[in-house]
Structure formats: structure tokens, C-alpha cells
Structure 1
Amino acid sequence: MKAYLFPGQGSQFVGMGKNLYKNSDFAKKLFRLSEEILGFKMTSIMFEGPMDQLKKTKYTQLAVYIYSVIKAKILMNFNPDMVAGHSLGEFSALAAIDVFSFEDGLILVNERASMMQKICESVHGGMAVVFGLEDHIIEDFCKRDKGIIVPSNYNSPGQLVISGEMAALKRVCFSLKKIGAKILTLPVHGAFHSPIMEPAKKKLKIFVEKFSFKDSKCSIYHNVTSTPIKKCNDIKKNLIEQLTSPVKWKQSIKNMILDGAISFTEVGPGNILQNLMKKISIN
């Protein structure tokens, strides 16, 4: 069975999409349609940068979504048996398999990104990758801290992202280093997939309900549950819950393998998910 994976924030780079724009009339059409809907030159930010602008949440999410969906639409023999998207990547995956249109997905992602950006600007939060410890140890340190700090991305064995208030993040990271963990602080200004995103979740719920979704034609393994879902109402529910719930990525990949996936293709900028895939499949 064929599985396709769609990346999220962190996979962006200046120049992304330029070759697609030059070499495909269909891609060019969708890039131009994106700019008509958004009302600004998204291609300039994607193609030329600067990186400081591209890495802002409100632009990053749009850039990765546009690139990933266009790439899926022009892929030869794109007929997945199952798909999964990492955080924002779920929106890309759903547009690629026509649960909603490219245009509706773009509007949804733009709203989601804007909501998250506002919270990033109002709450001093952050995220860090913890390497080399068992999940339950990291979970326990987060539970014991007095602030808001939670596991947010179960990326692969030995790699778990934590997210929360900056003060709590610093405390927990300091404690984890003392017992041998390696820490990589992520260059983001928000605490994604944590309770800090609750205001955005409430607003997104109202916004999502305005859109028409279709049942999925193939299984989509959602971040929130790590299990296959096809019904449109379940898809909507999980997209909303995802904002404050951890991304169960390694669990999703393991379930896809158990359910018969033998080939995995990453559809998006970079190869972050392929690198995680190697670590997950070995363990």
C-alpha cells in the first residue's frame, strides 16, 4: 500500500516553489490563484524571502500548504491508499485528496496561521526538541513543573518536542539536560500544540464549521488519534483538537506500517519526514 506524508512548519526555505512555478503551467495557475485569494504576493515571500519574513507563522503555514498541495496535484500517479500530515501538513493532505478544495484549504490555513500568530505575539512561549530520553521521563518532568509545559510532537523514538510558557520551558530543559538529554530550542515564538493555543482553537472551531468537507477517499491518519479516519465530521473535529493536542507522529507511522504501508513518499519542501521515517521504521 502507498502512503504519502505532508510536512508542517519547519520545512520551509527561501526559493521554495520557484521551479514548480517555472516548469508547470498548472502550478503557475495555482500560485496565481493563491495570490488572488490572499490579496498579497505570497510567491515573492516564497521565492525571494527574506527568511525572517518567511519563517513567521502567518507566512510559513501558507507557504508550506501551497507548495505541498501543488506538488501533490502535479505528481504522476498520485493515488494514495493512506496519507498523514504533520501538524499543518494535515491541511495539505486533505486538500490533496479532495476532502476540501485547494481554495477552501488556503482560506482555512490563512485563518489558522493568523490566529496562531496573534497568540505568539501576545504570549511568551516556545518549543524545544528533547533527544535521548524515553517519552515517559519527559512527560513526567512536564507534569511536575508548575507552569504550562507539555509534550507537543512525538516525532520519533528518542525525539520528543515540548511546548509551553518560556519560563517553564527553560526550567524543564535545564532539568532534562542534567539527566543527559540533548536539547535543541526551536526558532519559533509560539507554544504550538499546547493549552496556550486554546483561544485559537475556539475561534478555529467556529470558522471550520462554515466550510463543507467531504468524506475522505483514503485513510488519513490524524495527529490527534494516530488512527485512520475517513468521515468528514471526524476530520473536522480532529483538525480543531489538533491545535492543543500533541502530534502523535511516530504512532501514526507505526500504525500505517501495521496497516500495510510499504512505500512512503514525502510531498512538500525538504525531507524532514523521510528522516524521521528512517528512525521510526528501525525501532
Structure 2
Amino acid sequence: MSKTAFIYPGQGAQKAGMGADFYERSETARAIFDQAGEKLGLDMKALCFEENEKLDLTEYTQAALVTTCLAMTRVAKERGLKPDITAGLSLGEYSAIAAAGGMDDLDAVRLVRKRGILMQNTVPAGEGGMCAVMGMEASKIEEVLEEMDGEEAGNVTVANYNCPGQIVITGKTSAVEAAAERLKAAGAKRAMMLNVSGPFHSPLLVPAGEELAKELETVTLHPLDIPYVTNVTAEKVEDIGVTRELLTKQVSSPVRWMQSMEAMIREGVDIFVEIGPGKTLAGFMKKISRDVKVYNIAVWEDVEKVAQELQ
């Protein structure tokens, strides 16, 4: 029997104008944007819909992207689209948990606003960085990182297992740069430093996770309507009781996206609906498995197209 997953992108998918057509055409979407803006004291419409410099700053990006994804999700559900399971890449995990019924939309937005501020401010600017490594197996990358010595030893780790041939490393800037050179020498096709404001999903962000844990205690979590798959272990979560601990660890742990998608496919998921701006996750899925169908809901017209296909 066919199973459907809703999947949500992480930071980097944001773009000016995202969700504007949903705001114009749906009272449900409009309420989410307006209430999120009111809750955070932000002009969410200006942040998401207009060209501005704030949208690419972590402390604003996270709340803007989750607000947009959840507004799109509510519209998709109204149209009759229902997932059997959810997952989200890094930041997207908050959308996945809310879509699975484990968290109220506005609590998800409030949490990621705090998360974004903590992630941006925990490590001083310039001291941490990330690098995308292309064309090398994860096991080989791990081997090269384990062989790092001197000041670089232990200061660079894997941040994201995105898909075969695309792994992201993270850590102290000097260590990441040194690792990039070693990886290229070891056969990586490319090792490209990323334009990010910190060493995300690095042990350097453990203090951010500890602060986020305090914020998580203020949120009411609900029994899940459906399972979600966590980035931390790439395993299905059915007990909401473990979610606070997982989200605390997630800030400083590798994102096991490739492993998460493989786990969902083993569970029988054969339809993936990416909800949010862009098609990043669809691109990853082409390299993870060609045996599943992937749909995108990024603009208003997509909802009707996907609904007609799947109902």
C-alpha cells in the first residue's frame, strides 16, 4: 500500500516572495503569517514577501521559513492531502513535528526564532565555518577527518549527510579549511566553503542546544498523530516524550538526511511531497532513490496539481 511523506527544507531554501500567494488566497495561511508576526513582534509579511537583507540572517530566516512551510501545509491539508509520516532537514524538523501534530504552529515558530538567535550568536563571527564536499563517499570523508592532527584534530566533523556525493562538514574555520584541502587531495571532486554565519551542527554549538533545552521546557508538546523521522538518529519517532531531548541534540549533531530518507523508503514510503520554497530535497532524492515519486508544493498552483495527482 502506498505511503506519503511530507518533507520540509532547511535553512538556505528561503527566498523573497515565499508564501505571498498563499497569504493572498487563503484565510488559513493569512492567519498563520499574521499570528506568527504578532507573536514574535516581527513584520512577517515584509520579512517573507519583500526583498530585504534580514531574510538571510539566521535569527530571522528560521522563523520566516517555518511560518511559510506551516502555512503551506495547512492549505495542503485543507485540500485533502494527508501524510502518513513527516521529516524535515535541520530547521525543517520543526515544521515536520508540527505537521505531525506534536507541536502547535506558533510554538514551532517561537522556538525556531530562539534557535536561530542562539545558533547565530553562540560562536563569534568568523570562528566557525562549513564546507560542502562533493563526489566522495561519506565513509572516506569520515576517515580523512579522523586522521586530522594538531590543532585541527577534533575541530571538524560531518554536519549533513545530504545525499550520495554531497556531504557538508563543519567546525572551526581553520580546521574546516584544512580539511577541505585534505579531502581534495584524497579525491573529492569539490570542497566548497559555504557562506554561512556559523558552524552549524557542530559540537561547538552544544551550548546553544543547552539554552534551547530551557526554551523547549516552556512548550506544550502533544501526542503525535503520525510519526516523524528525526535527524539525530534517522529513526521513526512515535513517542513525543523523546522530542525535547532530540531537538536539544539536533543543534550540535549531524543531520542524517540521506539515512532518514532511506529509513522512510524501507517503511514503505513511495511518495514524498516537499513543502516549502525551492526543490532542494527533491534534488537530493534523485540521488538517494529513483524508485519513489517526489512532488513539490512551493506556490499556490502546486497544491491543486499535487492534490489531483494523489487523490
Q: Normalization by structure 1: what TM-score? A: 0.96
Report if aligned partners of 2:100, 2:228 keep a CA contact under 8 Å in 1. no
Q: 2:26 aligns with which of 20, 24, 27?
A: 24
Corresponding position: 1:13 with 2:15: yes
| Separation (CA, whole Å) in 1 of partners of 2:236 and 2:126 | 34
How many percent of aligned residue pairs carry the same amino acid? 36
Corresponding position: 1:260 with 2:268: yes
Corresponding position: 1:97 with 2:100: yes
Which sections of structure 2, spanning at least 5 residues, go unmatched? 292-311
Report if aligned partners of 1:5, 1:93 keep a CA contact under 8 Å in 2. yes
Summarize the Cα distance change of 1:190–1:162 in structure 2 as closer, same or farther, 3 Å threshold.
Answer: same
Which sections of structure 1, spanning at least 5 residues, go unmatched? none
| Separation (CA, whole Å) in 2 of partners of 1:92 and 1:140 | 33
Report if aligned partners of 1:191, 1:197 keep a CA contact under 8 Å in 2. yes
Q: Which residue of 1 is the match for residue 88 of structure 2?
A: 85
1:75-119 alpha-carbon deviations (Å, 9 max, x no partner)? 022321111110000101111222111111111111111111112
| Separation (CA, whole Å) in 2 of partners of 1:216 and 1:185 | 38
Q: 2:168 aligns with which of 134, 150, 161?
A: 161
Report if aligned partners of 1:151, 1:160 keep a CA contact under 8 Å in 2. yes
By how many angstroms is 1:28 displaced? 1.2
By how many angstroms is 1:280 displaced? 0.2
Equivalenced residues, count: 282
Q: Which residue of 1 is the match for residue 115 of structure 2?
A: 112
Q: Which residue of 1 is the match for residue 206 of structure 2?
A: 198
Q: 2:282 aligns with which of 248, 254, 274?
A: 274
1:154-175 alpha-carbon deviations (Å, 9 max, x no partner)? 0001111101110001100011
| Separation (CA, whole Å) in 2 of partners of 1:184 and 1:107 | 32
Stretches of 4+ aligned residues off by more than 3 angstroms: 120-123
Report if aligned partners of 1:120, 1:189 keep a CA contact under 8 Å in 2. no
Corresponding position: 1:242 with 2:243: no
Report if aligned partners of 2:129, 2:176 keep a CA contact under 8 Å in 1. yes
| Separation (CA, whole Å) in 2 of partners of 1:282 and 1:130 | 22
Q: Normalization by structure 2: what TM-score? A: 0.87
| Separation (CA, whole Å) in 2 of partners of 1:176 and 1:263 | 35
SS at match of 1:262: strand
| Separation (CA, whole Å) in 1 of partners of 2:110 and 2:16 | 22
Pairing 1:179-194 to 2, within 5 Å after superposition = 179-181=186-188, 182-194=190-202
Summarize the Cα distance change of 1:123–1:232 in structure 2 as closer, same or farther, 3 Å threshold.
Answer: farther
Report if aligned partners of 1:132, 1:158 keep a CA contact under 8 Å in 2. yes
Q: Which residue of 1 is the match for residue 295 of structure 2?
A: none
Report if aligned partners of 2:164, 2:287 keep a CA contact under 8 Å in 1. yes
For 1:62, the aligned partner's letter is A
| Separation (CA, whole Å) in 2 of partners of 1:254 and 1:4 | 15
For 2:114, the aligned partner's letter is E
Q: Which residue of 2 is the match for residue 4 of structure 1?
A: 6
| Separation (CA, whole Å) in 1 of partners of 2:126 and 2:272 | 37
For 2:198, the aligned partner's letter is G
By how many angstroms is 1:228 displaced? 0.5
Q: Which residue of 1 is the match for residue 45 of structure 2?
A: 43
Q: Which residue of 2 is the match for residue 144 of structure 1?
A: 147
Q: CA RMSD in A?
A: 1.4
| Separation (CA, whole Å) in 2 of partners of 1:198 and 1:130 | 24
SS at match of 1:133: coil
| Separation (CA, whole Å) in 2 of partners of 1:29 and 1:207 | 24
| Separation (CA, whole Å) in 1 of partners of 2:12 and 2:207 | 23
SS at match of 2:269: coil
Report if aligned partners of 1:124, 1:189 keep a CA contact under 8 Å in 2. no
By how many angstroms is 1:122 displaced? 4.8
